[in-house]
Structure 1
Amino acid sequence: MQALWQTLPSEGRDNPHVVAEYLIKTGRLSRFQANKILKGVVAGLILGPYQVLAPIGKGGMGTVYLARDQRNRQLVALKVLPPRRARRDPRLMSRFRREMDLCRRVKHPHLAAALEVGQISEVAFIAMEFVPGVSLYRLVSTKGALPPARAARLLAEVASAVQHIQEQGLIHRDLKPANVMVTPNDRAKLLDLGLALVQGETGGPREVVGGAGYIVGTWDYISPEQIADSCRVDVRSDVYSLGCTLYFALTGQPPFPGGKGRDKMHRQLREEPVPIRWVNPAIPDALGELVHQMMAKDPALRPKTAAEVERELRRLAGPETTLPMDVPSDAGYARAVADLEMADPIADDTDQELLEIPEPASQGISGLWLVVGVLFGLMLLIAAYVLMH
């Protein structure tokens, strides 16, 4: 393999697609074989105790892989910061380490648990609980608006997680349907502390995402005050985003559908959404009124805590009924942790696209394609570049 490495063009060694193209041109791979390898390019790699199985998603702070902890055979979601990106912008490593520290602070049944954080060689990682199921975004997008009682119960569980985060001194700042997983037993799990703010931070330290002149969040679910200053918010900003998420769950659309970033920003700041019962008349008056209160432009008019929201949602949800069967027990690797969210990214000072939309995940390739030993070796050569870059 070292001899093969020496023959590669130096200017293309960091790009797996360039490497694959070179191997095709030199007759070491057919294009069909190369395409299959690139689709499952990381399958089988080892990072400490973790065997990487397949890519799940990609975002501004790293790549997420499905992996297996070889110590206990447990599936995990492994969030990795590629060293090349960290070298290109040292702030990314500072922010990734900050996320690692924040993950250690929180532990709650409706939060995806951080199992381990660490660094092996130059690769920093966070091993998270693997949450099977589908995101709330995908569930509603494919099945339609949820029954009011179910939506209230699921969002009450999210509110309980938000309350726990607040008690640990954090503001989530990116509550949205794509960050809420719905499990096969119809429980909600909140994901992703990548944009979380420690109460009292002002945006000065380099590891804090955002600051003066920059906006973090997602346009469809961001509060007006978070648009004004992403580092001067409190839990009521998360309450607003939770209200927008509840609006989506109950209607199948965000409060301000259509338009691009600037248009959505103006509407979040200045306009009221279409009354929720106009969109879905089946929503009870009391639930519609709660959504309206949660989305008040003035933070002083919203519920003061997530615990208050949770209590009211549980009251409105009533007793649980038979569990729905619309979340499969095996929803597939690609949908399990980092789901597609067709939302406009909001720029920050890192790379002008903080909230990168995850790419459709590639499935791990079958062992059939790796029968021939030389192909397996070539796959590992290409895969190493993907994980490291």
Structure 2
Amino acid sequence: MTEPNADLRETADDGPAAGAPQPEETGNLANWQLGEFRILRRLGRGGMADVYLADQTSLHRHVALKVLRTESLTDEVHLERFRREAEAAGGLSHPNIVQVFTIGEADGVHYIAQEYVQGLNLREFLQKKGPPDVGVALHILKQVALALQVAGEAGIVHRDIKPENILVTRKGTVKVADFGLAQLSLGGGGGEALNLTQAGMTMGTPLYMSPEQVSGKKLDARSDIYSFGVTCYHILAARPPFEGETAMAVAVQHLNSEPAPLRKHRSDLPDALCHIVHKMMAKEPQQRYPDAKSVLADLRRVEKSIRDNPQAAAADVTIADFDPVLDTQRLASVSASHQLLQWAGRHPLVAFFGSCLVVAAFSAALVLAIQPPDPRDATPRTLPAKATVQEQYEIAQRLIDDEDAWLAVVDHQRPDPQILQPAREQLALLYLRELRFSEAQEIFDDFATMDDETIRDKGLAGMAISASLKQNYQMSRRLIETKELLRPDRINPDSDLGKLLLEANDANLRALKEDSATAGP
């Protein structure tokens, strides 16, 4: 996100000028310098902190700077506990957790510097796109569960899992934010009774609180499981399970009321997924999942049941379809989707569908919902017809994801075979990125019948990639191995097609190994 240069020019390197208004007076620290952080602009306000976009001058990177408001710092005991918890959260390093870089204090202002994530939180996602379909939902929920698993294994309880604290990046990676900050805002969870009228207590927090949190009992990972279940219910049903005019009214329902069946709001959801959500929301901690690892295992079983039975309606998947034995071996493969997302970030041409090689039924809606508007779409655009196909090809190269631009090359009145083939290849890759498999397949099938061996190999490679994207891993693997497509003299491994082929091969091997482990001896 590009920031206006004026913000940088107006910020003095040595802090605010003499006589400048103090932050307590302005309520906004924009253009201030806090230690090594040059504050650019305010991003938002929470119950206990203001959030700013800042430039960490020592490392030349943007960070999200959470500045604790003065009223949050009156209790030194809670502040010290918060420091310890934030330091512990800073030790969590995982693709699905917003990284805490440092905590500090400058000129009496306490702050937390953490990873700046561009995208939407789940509440914004829900408001923009409505409740996600099953494939997108599973993609999101599995990543949240993985983040909670990592935190739980480190002995950290989040205490404030809710849609606002779950972020989705532009590449579809899900990140859980604010590990540690809830320690201050919610009183620590060490047995203190919760004051539902306290400063900073917004309606957003009690909507997702566990019964033991409302009662002021000691918390463990199962409290986060409950809040995660309520969050799942909210994003799937487009409404939280309990609502009320006051925080107290909502809290009482968490203690005494049962939520309406999730299937009442979403008849298209698998019974097994609804079962998972309701089990997470059990009133008694011992009736919930013991940890996020167990939640993740069941979410993956739902996904596999849908993948293995593509002809069956998703709603037909029931808890009875699950293997009753917890298959811990499958959990090791969860990180594959994060590795592919990181790979996709290095190769923007395939940033979206790289995740699809591992994440079954990951709908295009997830990424499309969080992409910023393309500047090219702001005004009507026409594609000029060029006199030569070479000029037309150069336009298409600049508009790499524009189907019309590539079609203008393919359909040019003065075709050139030396340009037509690479243009059709780019068009096929575009179709793959948009998950338009049949259109991509048509081009690759045509390539595979060509006399030119180089073009024929590209057709076979495209067929193998397409098969892997459609979870037909056996077919994809056979094509790659029998045609020796991974040989560098067959497909250039540094080309877009070659990179995709390597990822498809890796995805095939992981999926087939995973299925073999599931089948057992």
TM over 0.5: yes
Q: Secondary structure at the match of 1:170?
A: coil
Q: Residues 53 and 275 from structure 1, CA distance in 2 versus in 1: closer, same or farther, beyond 3 angstroms?
A: same
Alignment of 1:199-278 (within 5 A): 208=188, 211-214=191-194, 218-230=205-217, 232-278=218-264
Superposed CA deviations along residues 186-227 of structure 1, whole A, max 9, x for unmatched, are: 121001124556xxxxxxxxx846643225882211111222
Give % identity: 35
Alignment of 1:21-60 (within 5 A): 42-60=29-47
Name which of 296, 302, 325 aligns with 2:288: 302
Q: Secondary structure at the match of 2:369?
A: coil
Q: Does 1:177 align with 2:163?
A: yes
Q: Does 1:123 align with 2:109?
A: yes
Superposed CA deviations along residues 242-286 of structure 1, whole A, max 9, x for unmatched, are: 111111111110011343222212211111111001111111111
Name which of 63, 70, 80 aligns with 2:50: 63
For the Cα contact (< 8 Å) 2:149–2:291, is it kept in 1? yes
Q: Secondary structure at the match of 1:326?
A: helix
More helix by share: 2
Q: Secondary structure at the match of 1:166?
A: helix
Structure 2: which 5+ residue stretches go unaligned?
Answer: 1-15, 305-359, 375-521
Bigger drift between 280-289 and 256-265 goes to 256-265
Name which of 301, 314, 327 aligns with 2:370: 327
What is the Cα deviation at residue 151 of structure 1? 1.2
For the Cα contact (< 8 Å) 1:277–1:288, is it kept in 2? yes
What is the Cα deviation at residue 93 of structure 1? 3.7
Q: Residues 243 and 209 from structure 1, CA distance in 2 versus in 1: closer, same or farther, beyond 3 angstroms?
A: closer
Amino acid at match of 2:194: Y
What is the Cα deviation at residue 69 of structure 1? 1.6
Q: Residues 211 and 279 from structure 1, CA distance in 2 versus in 1: closer, same or farther, beyond 3 angstroms?
A: same
Q: Secondary structure at the match of 2:370?
A: coil
Partner of 2:76: 90
Answer 1 or 2: higher relative contact order, Cα 8 Å, separation at least 6: 1
Amino acid at match of 2:192: A
For the Cα contact (< 8 Å) 1:79–1:127, is it kept in 2? yes
What is the Cα deviation at residue 46 of structure 1? 1.7
Partner of 2:153: 167
Q: Secondary structure at the match of 2:192?
A: coil
Q: How many residues align?
A: 294
Amino acid at match of 2:364: L
TM-score (normalised: structure 1)? 0.68
Structure 2 CA distance, aligned partners of 1:4 and 1:72? 30
Q: Residues 238 and 186 from structure 1, CA distance in 2 versus in 1: closer, same or farther, beyond 3 angstroms?
A: same
Larger radius of gyration: 2
Q: Residues 278 and 51 from structure 1, CA distance in 2 versus in 1: closer, same or farther, beyond 3 angstroms?
A: same
For the Cα contact (< 8 Å) 2:136–2:362, is it kept in 1? no
Show structure 1 runs of 4+ deviating over 4 A: 1-5, 84-89
Structure 2 CA distance, aligned partners of 1:215 and 1:172? 18
Structure 2 CA distance, aligned partners of 1:87 and 1:275? 41
Q: Residues 146 and 168 from structure 1, CA distance in 2 versus in 1: closer, same or farther, beyond 3 angstroms?
A: same
Structure 2 CA distance, aligned partners of 1:179 and 1:51? 24
Q: Residues 330 and 173 from structure 1, CA distance in 2 versus in 1: closer, same or farther, beyond 3 angstroms?
A: farther
Structure 2 CA distance, aligned partners of 1:4 and 1:119? 21
Structure 2 CA distance, aligned partners of 1:214 and 1:224? 11
Structure 1: which 5+ residue stretches go unaligned?
Answer: 18-37, 198-206, 332-389
Name which of 76, 79, 104 aligns with 2:63: 76
Structure 2 CA distance, aligned partners of 1:251 and 1:284? 13
Q: Residues 66 and 92 from structure 1, CA distance in 2 versus in 1: closer, same or farther, beyond 3 angstroms?
A: farther
Amino acid at match of 1:46: Q
Partner of 1:359: none
Structure 2 CA distance, aligned partners of 1:184 and 1:61? 27
Q: Residues 282 and 64 from structure 1, CA distance in 2 versus in 1: closer, same or farther, beyond 3 angstroms?
A: same
